[in-house]
Amino acid sequence: MDDEFAPHVDQIKRALDNEIEESNILADLKKLIEFRVPLEEAKRSLIKKYGGADKSIVCKLGDIKIGDQNIEFTAQVMELTKKSININTIEKTIFSGILGDETAARSFTAWHDFGLNAGDVVHITQAYVRNWQDRPEINFGSKSKVTKLNTTIAINPEILQKKLAELRDGDVNVNAAFTILSIEPREIITKDGSKNILNGIGADDKTKAPFTSWVLLPELVAGNTIEVKNAYVRSFRGVPTLHINENSKVKKLEKCIEFKEPKKVMIRDIIESEGAFDVVVEGNILSVRPGSGLIARCPECSRVIQKGMCRVHGKVDEKLDMRIKAIIDDGTGAMTLVLNAELTQALSGITIEQAKEIAKAAMSQNAVEEEVKKKLLGKMLTARGNMSKGEYGITLVATNVRESHDQINERASELLSRAGQHG
C-alpha cells in the first residue's frame, strides 16, 4: 500500500464493523483526492459509504483538523476553566481548557458537565473540531461520551517547549524563548472598540518568527530575551505567528540568545512545512508567469486591477506598479517567487518609467512581461523572504534577491549528497 495513504486507510478500517478490502478503500480514497476532495472530508465520506457513519475516527491530537467529526482519542486534561455564557438570552455553563497527549496540546470546550478535573486522563468518543479564532478547537456535545481512565499519559515536554521553527498553526499552551529583534505598537479596531497591541519579530538560535502580544508588558522591549509560557499559534498569510495574551506568562531572561543569519535551505524541505519566515533559497527561474512586468493597482486597496476596475472599489484611477511572479526550481522542488517593484527593477534593470515607454511603444503592457522574461529565464537566483501556502499554491514573497554566482559543480555535489541521504 502507498505509504502516504496507509495511516488514513487504517483509520477508515478501524471505524468500520465490516471487512472491506484495503485495496478497495485505497482506490476510492485516491479517486476522491484526485477530484480535489479534502482528505478529512474524503475519509468521512468513505466511512459513511461503507456503513460506519456513526463510528468514531481514532486519532492523536496532533492529527486533528478544523471540520473533523466523530473523532475518538485519549488525552489528559491539562487545564480546566468553568465559565458562564449567554446564548439567545439563556445563561449556560461550559467548561474549557487544554487537552494533551504524546503528540500535541489542543484547546477544548465541553458543552455539558462531564465531571472533568485538571489531571484527569479521559477517553473521548463522538467529539468534533470547530474553528475558533482560526485554530482547531475540540468540542464535546450531547452525543459525546467521556470515560475517565485509571492510567497516565507521558506528555512529552517538547510538545510544549518549542523552537520558533517548530511553531504550527493551532498549537496551544506553547512555551518558547527568544530575543526580541523589533517590536512596535499598533492600534486595531475590535468588536469592543479600539485596542492597543504589539507586533514584533523574535529570534532564537535557529530562526526568526513574528509574534503578537494582546497585552502591554514591560518585558516586551527590543533587545530583551524573554521566556513565554502558555502562548498559542495562529497563521497569518500562511506564516505561523506566536500570540501572547492575558493568560500567558512572560519572563525576562538574563541570557542572550544569539541569532545566526539564515542559511540556504532546499525548496523540498520548506514546502513540507505550513509556512516559513525569513528563509533563503537558491534556484533557476523556469518561467515568468502572466501578470508580471507592468501592472495596475487600485490606489485604495492595492489589489491588481484590469481596465481601471477594482472588485471592491469599482472604477478607480489606476496606479501603475511592477512585479515579477516566477517559478523557481532548485532540483528538489519548485514554488512561485514574487518580487515587488523595487526588487523587480533592480533585477531586470527596467524602471517603471522605462516600462511605461515599452508598453506605450508596443501598445501593450504584455511587452514589459516579455522583456522581463528575456532577462530572467534560466538565471540562477538567491532569494530571501517568507514562504506561505494558500489558494494560489506555495509562494515565497521575497524581501531580498540577487543573481547567484556560477555554482554548478557545488550545487551538483550538494544535490547528489542529499539524494544519497534520502535514498
> Which 3 state secondary structure label does DSSP give 423?
coil
Cell 497591541 -> residue: 197
Largest Cα separation within the chain, whole Å, is 80
The CATH topology of domain 160-253 is: OB fold (Dihydrolipoamide Acetyltransferase, E2P) (2.40.50)
- Is the pLDDT at 418 greater than 60, yes or no? no
Instruction: Specify the long-range contacts of residues 369-372, CB closer than 8 Å, at least 24 apart.
Output: 369/288, 369/290, 369/291, 369/292, 369/293, 369/294, 370/293, 371/293, 372/288, 372/292, 372/293, 372/324, 372/344, 372/348
**Contact indicator for 173, 78 with CB cutoff of 8 Å:** yes
- Is the pLDDT at 350 greater than 50, yes or no? yes
- What's the average model confidence in pLDDT over 55-69? 82
Cell 502516504 -> residue: 4
**Contact indicator for 280, 250 with CB cutoff of 8 Å:** no
Q: Where are the domains of the chain?
A: 6-149, 160-253, 267-295+321-421
- Is the pLDDT at 216 greater than 70, yes or no? yes
Within this chain, domains 160-253 and 267-295+321-421 share the same CATH topology: yes
- What's the average model confidence in pLDDT over 183-209? 89
Gap between the Cα atoms of 71 and 129, Å rounded? 8
What is the rounded average pLDDT for all residues in the chain?
85
- Is the pLDDT at 339 greater than 90, yes or no? yes
- On the CB side of 203, CA atoms within 13 Å amount to 17
* CATH superfamily of the 6-149 domain: Nucleic acid-binding proteins (2.40.50.140)
pLDDT at residue 179 in the model? 94
- What's the average model confidence in pLDDT over 177-185? 94
Between 188-192, 246-250, 340-344, 364-368, the lowest mean confidence (pLDDT) is in 188-192
**What CATH class is the domain 267-295+321-421?**
mainly beta
- What's the average model confidence in pLDDT over 351-378? 90
pLDDT at residue 1 in the model? 47
